[in-house]
Structure 1
Amino acid sequence: MSNFNDYWERKRPLTVHELLAELENIEDDNHYKYDVYITPPTDAGNDTDEDSGEEDCQDPDRLNHNQLDAEAELYINDKPVTEENNVEDNTPTTSSIPSNPHKKVRKATSVIQEKPKWVLDDLKNPICENWSESFLPPISLGAENHSLDFFELFMPAQLVLFLVKHTVQYAASKNRQLTVSVEDMYAFLGILHVSGYNVLPRRRMYWEENDDVQNRLISTSMRRKTFEDIFRNLHAADNSVLDPTDRMAKVRPLIVALNRLFWIMHQ
């Protein structure tokens, strides 16, 4: 690196690892004090990955991978390197530095990690001062409507039929006999919804006759075997035409359809 202008010409900030490598490539006899500040990571509150060095670490070799991958800020002689305060005038270029191509001296660089300062307090200003009906989706349903009417706003019959089609198609590809109607799929989705807030240790307990676990709403809506057959074969895409580069390919059509419905509801 001929000078630190390259530091600002990059499309993204340098990481600590990249900046330390750049500093090592500069060979000069001048005495400059280089300080590298580590920006706080996005998961600074995660205690599962402790720092390998002290907060004011003078040895870059003791930094862990999260610290090395964090964005870095460079200070020279206790002055920050900013776009307005270019260090080219203060730092000799490689053309003016007598260097030995056979010798590379590691520069004494101190690395100081900035710790986030958390404050437990209420927001002084509300996030949104004026709430109005424009923030609400144009729902024309009221208290007189059934809860299924609200559910169908985001899971219409066409989308449920789409799930039925690919679920039956997948079962057939595995030589399994499965018959599923739109009503069956609605009941299946309803059971999933109820089991999300009425949690039992095992799924089969919802159909048991014990008073402490039986859920009559679930057990009377669908037989346990029917539910397990749908659960075993549930699909939202054709496995024969999946995009190999998309890790979410098996649920991508469902995600796209739901995002479109959510977007329509907020117009």
Structure 2
Amino acid sequence: MSSQMKILLMKTKGGMLDNLTGRQLRAGAEVLFANNARTQLDPELSTDDAEGDNCKPSKKNEKRKRNQRKQRKWGKHDLCNSLSHFPECDFSKYRDFSPYELLELFFDEDIFNMILAEIPIYAQFKNEPDPAVTKAELKVFIAVLILSGYNRLPGKRFYWDSGPDMRNEMVHAAIRRDRFIQIMKFLHFADNNAMDSRDKLWKLRPLIKKLQNKFVKHFVPVPRLSYDESMIAYYGPHGCKQFIKGKPIRFGYKVWSLNTPSGYLVNFDVYQGKNVQINEDYEKQFGKAVTPLIQMIDSFDDDTKNLPFSLYFDNLFTGMELLSYLKQEGYNGTGTIRESRVPKECTIMPCKDMKKLERGTFTYKCSDDGILVARWQDTGSVTVATTVHSVNPVGHRSWSPSTSKASVSKGRLPDSIRYDGKNHYIIQNLGNKRRRCAGEYCKSVGRTACSKCDVGLCDGKEDGERGGREERPSGVTRRPTSRRLGLIKTHFRSSRVFVKQQFLVSVYLKTLPHNATQYRR
């Protein structure tokens, strides 16, 4: 008996057991009844009873269980896996389809009928007359939306503008402007009376589900798939709008996407934080970012699900749990991995030590369950985890001198040196000493030289500590520098004609002479 406790059970007072912790309930106990009768409880029986009462383990216990999982053994050996046979991809079914026929595979009669059924319901909800939209008008409306994706104008009304630089004849001849705006006003995909407040995308959910099913239906299996996030630009107010710093599209909707190498979208899911469509068991095991991938794989039919796909992802998704799960399911996984997600028992060289080594150095470790972690030094340390690709054979690559660590050149060499056929390799002078540039027209004094020719060579900069500029013979011109370009732009801004003259300036700069002193004032 690990510990004993005395519990007084009163006939008139109940509920005292509810005040005990789970650890106390699972411990051995001695029970004292009201008639002074005593009895001892078996600890194992108490534990079973406690579990039968649905006592949830604490977060500390859950963390302890995760830490007690079978630890992998890592060694310095390579993977010996071979790719499983994948059936040949058959695209013959869609080979003779026109672009319009391919579009109709996804936007078919089912989707148009759904939209046409929801438009009068929404008009009634707004207490307005039915716009009586026909299927032909709806198709024209969708076509205008597609056209506006590559033929962009400041606003939707400009497609019917009378100006020759704005008006689009195809749009103007296909549908009237006011009719287009009216259809956009009543366009709807779900019934407002059946709102699901837990789903932020409930208004689009019927359309999303239909498109997801059609994407999976027309998917021709290929051996390699890529899973990543994509951004749909949007700057208005919405609960699903995300901001990702450093991305080409920083504001908008984040969409988890499963794609083929050719760009076909196999499946997708719009990120909205807490999502009722997400499998909670998957989310606890893999997290919010990886759960949509597992659910997308589950959405395949049995024949497709049994194929040995190779999945690729970046360090947002890669983890040991994901790679181990995919391997158990018969799939291959490869992706860059963050240093914090590499297990502690994997004694691979840390990134801070790799940065001190020469570019091109690599190291690797492989676990007993077939997960390889490789790390090599590029401009920074790169770590990759895989269950299919091996380290050998090792390829060889010659690093460009302009990007090598040994090179300090950050500018551009003069043309007289770049095209002399000697392939100069610029390094920093020993002791950081100055040497005069050996260029034909250059009089600068710098701290760099060519290691092949053992002569001083500058890196082509015009200003700085070298204190000189390249002199050219008469008649030799050069393109204007960024400094000249900025001065000319300032001149036009002060005259308030820069916007109108911007194109003329760009053409004029091509013939700007070297001694353009009149434009610097």
Relative to the length of structure 2, the TM-score reads 0.26
Structure label with greater radius of gyration: 2
Specify which structure has the higher proportion of helix: 1
Specify which structure has the higher proportion of strand: 2
Which structure ranks higher in relative contact order (CA pairs < 8 Å, sequence separation ≥ 6)?
1
